[in-house]
Structure 1
Amino acid sequence: MNIVIIDTGCANLTSIQVAIKKLGYNSIVTSRSSVILKSKKIFLPGVGTAASVMNFLQKKNIINIIKELKQQILGICLGMQLFCNFSEECNGIQTLGIMKYPVLHLKHNNLPLPHIGWNRIQFNTEHPLLKNIPNYSRFYFVHSYVVPINKNTLSTTSYGIDFSSIIHKNNFFGVQFHPEKSGHVGSQLLKNFLEM
């Protein structure tokens, strides 16, 4: 199976590649549109700012390629947020627009920001991405911006407010947490995505 991790110029690409390797799959990190288009499964990771990643994707001329993908793609952390159409980060930036929701600064109610560490996800609907993952499982988060709960929300997490921790629309899946840093349940989620 051809598995691509889209090169977003970020630092967490290798850790995702290692996590995939532990599941018995090989992957390639690339921003080449020809390789992306031939892949079977795609990951869009992201750390840092929405502006820096969008600028990187623009320079690589792959924004429209990503928006028009028909393969299943998993956005991780900032990668998930980029699936929305707008982020409050950096005084406001247009993102990929696959889902028509804003990404908002986390109203943390005096809790520390960024939201760093282990937190639970809660879901009400069975889904292949969540196969063999118990409800209220703990995943590892690092973020200061959130996607509000909406009709594409698969799971929610609470930190000051409730927000979307997994979203899904058609072939686009997003997780706010880092499955590659989330132990057994994170590995299970990656396995589920690769085997869906």
Structure 2
Amino acid sequence: MVGIVNYGAGNIFSLTSALSRLGITYGMINSEVEFDLYSHIIIPGVGHAGAAMDKLNQSGLVDKIRSLTKPVLGICVGMQLLTDHSEEGDVTLTNIIPLQTKLFDKALGIKIPHMGWNNVEIKNNLLFEGVENQTQFYFVHSYFIEYNPTFGIATADYGQEYSAAIQKDNFYGVQFHPEKSGAAGERLLLNFSNLK
């Protein structure tokens, strides 16, 4: 059963619709005690990392999230929240995964935000089991997480290589939106729900 951290940062309708289609039961987490009701946790997120972190701090759930030992998946801004710091709002984040979230460089001749389908180079990881390398996923973001081989489990390229997915212990993050990425995204959500 998947618990979705409900801290007011983003539209979760597409996520709950995807989980329903897959037959994955889910519920909303609004308080610390509710984490215990679920085997898997998703941190969604759309919009501004600084604003999302403010909301997460106001929710009082940050310490509880840091202490989790069950599988956790951050999506888009939810993935960025797992890192140390974001240039978006110059804000300190949860510090769960020691990486930096940075703004794409317009000097590379790219449009910001990066919006649309992009190929993902998959490293060997259970999150991507059954998903072919170079499969396309759907991205919408202006900020990215640097690629680091210690934590990077997939990369994408948009003017430069960056992390499409990261992992540290039981914490996973994906920069793309699996809930908007068709069959491959649904497979990833199913894989996540089966992680031990």
With the length of structure 1 as denominator, give the TM-score of the two structures: 0.95
Alignment of 1:81-92 (within 5 A): 81-90=80-89, 92=90
- Gapped runs of 5+ residues in structure 2? none
**Aligned match of 2:58:** 59
TM-aligned CA deviation for residue 192 of structure 1: 0.5
Q: Tell me the amino acid that sits aligned with residue 137 of structure 1.
A: T
The more displaced of 70-79 and 37-46 is 37-46
Matched, 1:107 2:118: no
In 2, are the aligned partners of 1:86 and 1:93 still within 8 Å (CA)?
A: yes
Distance in structure 2 (CA, Å) of the matches to 1:179 and 1:127: 16
**Aligned match of 1:40:** 39
Q: Point out 4+ residue stretches in structure 1 off by more than 3 angstroms.
A: none
TM-aligned CA deviation for residue 190 of structure 1: 0.4
Q: Tell me the amino acid that sits aligned with residue 87 of structure 1.
A: S
Task: For residue 89 of structure 1, give the secondary structure of its aligned residue in structure 2.
Answer: coil
After superposition, the C-alpha distances for 1:6-47 in whole angstroms (9 at most, x for unaligned) are 013133212111111111112112221111133100000101
**Aligned match of 2:92:** 94
After superposition, the C-alpha distances for 1:126-151 in whole angstroms (9 at most, x for unaligned) are 22111110000000000011110111
Distance in structure 2 (CA, Å) of the matches to 1:8 and 1:119: 28
The more displaced of 73-82 and 2-11 is 2-11
- Gapped runs of 5+ residues in structure 1? none
TM-aligned CA deviation for residue 106 of structure 1: 1.2
TM-aligned CA deviation for residue 95 of structure 1: 0.1
- RMSD value, Cα: 1.0
With the length of structure 2 as denominator, give the TM-score of the two structures: 0.95
Task: For residue 132 of structure 2, give the secondary structure of its aligned residue in structure 1.
Answer: coil
Matched, 1:138 2:140: no
**Aligned match of 2:190:** 191
**Aligned match of 1:161:** 160
Distance in structure 2 (CA, Å) of the matches to 1:122 and 1:6: 28
How many residues align structurally? 193
Task: For residue 75 of structure 1, give the secondary structure of its aligned residue in structure 2.
Answer: strand
In 1, are the aligned partners of 2:9 and 2:55 still within 8 Å (CA)?
A: no
Task: For residue 167 of structure 1, give the secondary structure of its aligned residue in structure 2.
Answer: strand
**Aligned match of 2:4:** 5
In 1, are the aligned partners of 2:3 and 2:27 still within 8 Å (CA)?
A: yes
Distance in structure 2 (CA, Å) of the matches to 1:101 and 1:11: 23
**Aligned match of 1:26:** 25
**Aligned match of 1:147:** 145
Task: For residue 53 of structure 2, give the secondary structure of its aligned residue in structure 1.
Answer: helix
Q: Tell me the amino acid that sits aligned with residue 56 of structure 2.
A: L
Alignment of 1:174-189 (within 5 A): 174-189=173-188
Distance in structure 1 (CA, Å) of the matches to 2:4 and 2:101: 23
Distance in structure 2 (CA, Å) of the matches to 1:181 and 1:54: 23
Matched, 1:68 2:67: yes
